[in-house]
Amino acid sequence: MAGAGILGAFSAHSKHPQKRKSSGGFWELQVRRRERWLVALGIALHAIYMLSIFDIYFKTPIVHGMDPVPQRFTPPAKRLILLVADGLRADKFFEPDSEGRFRAPFLRSVIKEKGRWGISHARPPTESRPGHVAIIAGFYEDPSAVTKGWKANPVEFDSVFNRSRHTFAFGSPDIVPIFCSNVPHSSWSTYPHEFEDFASDAAFLDHWSFDQFQSILNKSYDDPKLKQLLLQDNLVIFLHLLGCDTNGHAHRPYSSIYLNNVKVVDHIAESVYNLVESYFNDNQTAYIFTADHGMSDKGSHGDGHPTNTDTPLVAWGAGVQGPKWLLHGSQLDDGFRFVDDHGHDLPTPVEWGLTGIERVDVNQADIAPLMATLVGLPCPANSVGYLPLDYLKLNKADEVEAALANTRQILNQFLRKSHLKQLNSLHFRPFKPLVNYSSLLSDIEDLISERDFEAAMKSSTKLRSLALEGLHYFQTYDWLMLMATITLGYIGWMFNLVLHVLQSYTYLSTNIFPRKKQKGAPGIGSTIKKVHLGGCLLICLLSTIMYLENAPVLYHAYLAMTVFLWTQIVSNVSFLKAIWREMSSRKLGSSMKLLCMSALSIFILECLVSSFSERKLYTWCFLSVGIVAALFMRLFIPGRHFMAIYVWMACWFISIFTMMPAEIPDNTNLVIISGALVVLIGIAARWYGSSAKGDKFLLFYSLHDKRTPRFPMLFQFQAFLVVLSSGMVWLSTSHRSRERELMMAHQLINWSLAGISLLLPLFSPRGLLERLISIFLGLASPFLLLSIGYEAVFYSALSLVLMGWILVECAILHLTEGKDAHSHIESLEVTTINSNGERNLQVFDLRIPLIFMVLFNVAFFGTGNFASIASFEISSVYRFITVFSPFLMAALLIFKLFIPFMLVICAFVAITKLMRLPRLGCYFLVILFSDVMTIHFFFLVRNTGSWMEIGNSISHFGIMSAQVVFILLLFALTNIYTRDMEIGSQRLVSQKVI
């Protein structure tokens, strides 16, 4: 045991027990005070640092104050018609039906005779709001919209509608108001939300939008002002066609209703074209037909699958080129990748029947500058789209002017961001490639004046690419500082945790850095004061710099917290020096043990991080651990073959559940069978515990009290309640399925069963096994009543594994005492640090918080995917309440999630008592391991991708950040059950220590 590393049992030269003195109580009081302060600091730190992701990943890219860039040529069109078929997949639009007929005959004729076509590539999240923002405003979803639930605009932005002389818009109440509610020169109308009925064919919504537009034109014949409004230039007309999206969700994109809706939007496009041409009759109208996103085969959208990102684009009318027929097929891929990560110029499917016509694909944000150029409007101020010149029918001079206007608009954004950052920076770092942007613009102007249009176009394209790189540079300008600050803060916090554990729960506090020296050594107090004063001055200096740079308030908090944590570390310089001296005096083997244990810990924690996206890792983990644990029991604890088989089977049993779907399917019969399984496990455990008499190994966890128990029939009563709960599961479910409601009598019985079951473990015997069996049965009844499927069986599987963990720890303790009982008792004497008989932590003890972390995270996924609230079935609470009550239902769901965690913590507390480990010391090690994972999740937060991917990355980081409070709360809850738990061998060992 000697020389076990920094957390070793005792130093080689410490051969005498540490005697308890009057200062010991004072020391323990100081430790408790420091721990309360440390917990409060941890809560504050994690709350503040959790907000940092919104300053790093979810900061709006929108800036204001840029001057619009007007077009320097006569626009080819007076008005623009924008038709957006919400949820229309490109393949369903272009491909023929089963009879070989195409679903969009009018738009196909446009492609072949009048205009241009291609695929518009949408960037995830492929949802209606970001899709329309990209089409109309020219930029991709503002990531700060996460703070508004992706619904409202956290920062108002410019769009084609803003720049128009007037805009008419008709369609969904979820889309049209985003762009028109704050535009005074707009006329818009939406249908009520009640119209969006998933139970019917939603094609009538598309007809509604067309009818509104037609009525406006008809009304203008009797309204001169409206007529004059319609005849002016720079006019935009927007029809939002929601039918395909609603029908895709309700009936799937392969259904006849969805496919028929494709014909409907084609018919509406033809009707709009005929109506506009007959009304204006001036060939001055440009038309754009596209979609905001596609639709997956399951009737959903949001991610980056091609069925969601590939949308059709058809343009025709004034200023749009006609079709270009290909002689030699499509050109080779030039390496360019679209925003949905698809290759450039991918081959057109043969079944579309369009392989002979040039296809021009665009990024979705490119449509905004295309529309603006067609009607002579400045590009939206925040647009990042490239103008697709292949769609425009312009001469060379006008093409270059249009491209240059697009470049200037993006460059203006860059210059504005650069100016704002320079204005608020004491040490400004410019974007070096565009330091001489004015000379680049002058060169382009000179090339245009010399009519070298090809060279001017190349230079303009290069300048535009540099401007976009510059925008990204300033969008992430503070990332290095913020990420370094937050990372250093987390490392500083973890370092403080390590120092606290070393000072309070290891032999180092008494052997290499005696308490009396800590209290009264000359010079130490003045050094600490100087360090704290230096930390305060540094915080003041950094805050002053942040203030002069007009930094957000949270920037001050991030820096202050990080400096404070490292100040605390530096103030422990004497202890750090002592640790270094101790490490230097150790043998190489001792240091290698510590390094190997640290490497193993990091490996396990990284596997846990990966398990949030790959739950099957737990399956392989338990399959492997089951074999290793069984071999350990078989080889080192002779005569315990049954225990080895038990541990192996328990691990393999639980490995099944991490392969189950996160969305738990209903299976009432499985829940009822689980009740019987719970009772059988309880009976088997009770019988096994009763055989402990005379068995030294079983004495570790079984305490046979000769006194008469307070409730001799408690076990039988608890088992009866579990059986009764299983019966109520069947009765409540069957009655509700027939009557569509829950009887009041059933509710009262279910509530009573849950409440009584939770109280009964308090009256159980104090022995480790007896108390754990009672807790297992007491939590089983409410869990069964809240279960709907396989999670009820998971409860038993988790309990079996927890019991296996306790058996393995008993085997380790038995093996240690058996090898050298006298040496073990002596080490217990030396390492006892408090009146509760808790010993010092050792390197090998790190396995206990590590195993706890694994099982705690397994419990996260046993009742569904904890990281995604969408995986929880509200039907879990229907045996307690059926009337919608969000707070009570949420409370019941959270309580259901807590039950597996409480089981794990109860087993953890039992093991710390069994091994005589300080529970708070182990708690701080658990938080230390949690924060290793937190740092990893901090760098995995995403601001691109589907909203599910973005939301899950935030929730993963939030879950790990909240564990400092979450685990502490669960410790407090389970302490009600475990505080008076006693270990069978404790009295014997305590007598030897005395």
- Average pLDDT over every residue of 535-554: 92
d(CA 407, CA 481): 30
pLDDT digits (tens, 9 = 90+) for 405-430: 999 999 999 999 999 999 988 889 99
- Average pLDDT over every residue of 52-73: 90
- Average pLDDT over every residue of 260-276: 96
Residue 847 phi/psi, 5-degree rounding, is -60, -30
846 or 579, higher pLDDT: 846
The DSSP element (H or E) to which 307 belongs, if any, is helix 306-309
Per-residue confidence (pLDDT) for residue 742, from 0 to 100: 66
Per-residue confidence (pLDDT) for residue 146, from 0 to 100: 67
Per-residue confidence (pLDDT) for residue 21, from 0 to 100: 41
Which tokens sit at 66? 């840029």
d(CA 265, CA 693): 82
- Average pLDDT over every residue of 698-715: 63
Model confidence at 200, pLDDT cuts 50, 70, 90, reads confident
Q: Are residues 57 and 143 in contact, defined by beta-carbon separation less than 8 angstroms?
A: yes
Which tokens sit at 531? 């360090």
703 or 136, higher pLDDT: 136
The bridge status of strand 79-85 relative to strand 362-363 is unpaired
Long-range CB contacts for residues 264-267, cutoff 8 Å, separation at least 24: 264/203, 264/206, 264/207, 265/83, 265/85, 265/88, 265/104, 265/206, 265/241, 266/103, 266/104, 266/105, 266/106, 266/107, 267/106
Model confidence at 149, pLDDT cuts 50, 70, 90, reads low
Per-residue confidence (pLDDT) for residue 906, from 0 to 100: 94
Per-residue confidence (pLDDT) for residue 3, from 0 to 100: 39
Per-residue confidence (pLDDT) for residue 45, from 0 to 100: 94
**Range with the lowest mean pLDDT among 341-345, 351-355, 445-449?**
341-345
Per-residue confidence (pLDDT) for residue 390, from 0 to 100: 93
Model confidence at 250, pLDDT cuts 50, 70, 90, reads confident
d(CA 261, CA 258): 5
Residue 474 phi/psi, 5-degree rounding, is -80, -25
pLDDT at 25 over 70: no
The DSSP element (H or E) to which 83 belongs, if any, is strand 79-85
Per-residue confidence (pLDDT) for residue 317, from 0 to 100: 95
Per-residue confidence (pLDDT) for residue 33, from 0 to 100: 85
Per-residue confidence (pLDDT) for residue 108, from 0 to 100: 96
Per-residue confidence (pLDDT) for residue 512, from 0 to 100: 54
d(CA 471, CA 413): 7
Model confidence at 27, pLDDT cuts 50, 70, 90, reads low
Per-residue confidence (pLDDT) for residue 375, from 0 to 100: 96
114 or 506, higher pLDDT: 114
587 or 220, higher pLDDT: 220
Q: Are residues 917 and 847 in contact, defined by beta-carbon separation less than 8 angstroms?
A: no
Calculated CA dihedral for residues 168, 171, 173, 175, nearest 10 degrees: -80
906 or 196, higher pLDDT: 906
Closest CA to 621 of 608, 612, 602: 608
- Average pLDDT over every residue of 806-835: 59
The bridge status of strand 235-241 relative to strand 285-290 is unpaired
pLDDT at 559 over 70: yes
Model confidence at 334, pLDDT cuts 50, 70, 90, reads low
Per-residue confidence (pLDDT) for residue 722, from 0 to 100: 93
Percent of all residues in the chain with a pLDDT value above 70, rounded to a whole number: 85
- Average pLDDT over every residue of 11-21: 39
For the chain, what is the mean pLDDT? 84
**Range with the lowest mean pLDDT among 635-639, 745-749, 805-809, 955-959?**
635-639
Per-residue confidence (pLDDT) for residue 650, from 0 to 100: 92
pLDDT at 359 over 50: yes
Per-residue confidence (pLDDT) for residue 333, from 0 to 100: 55
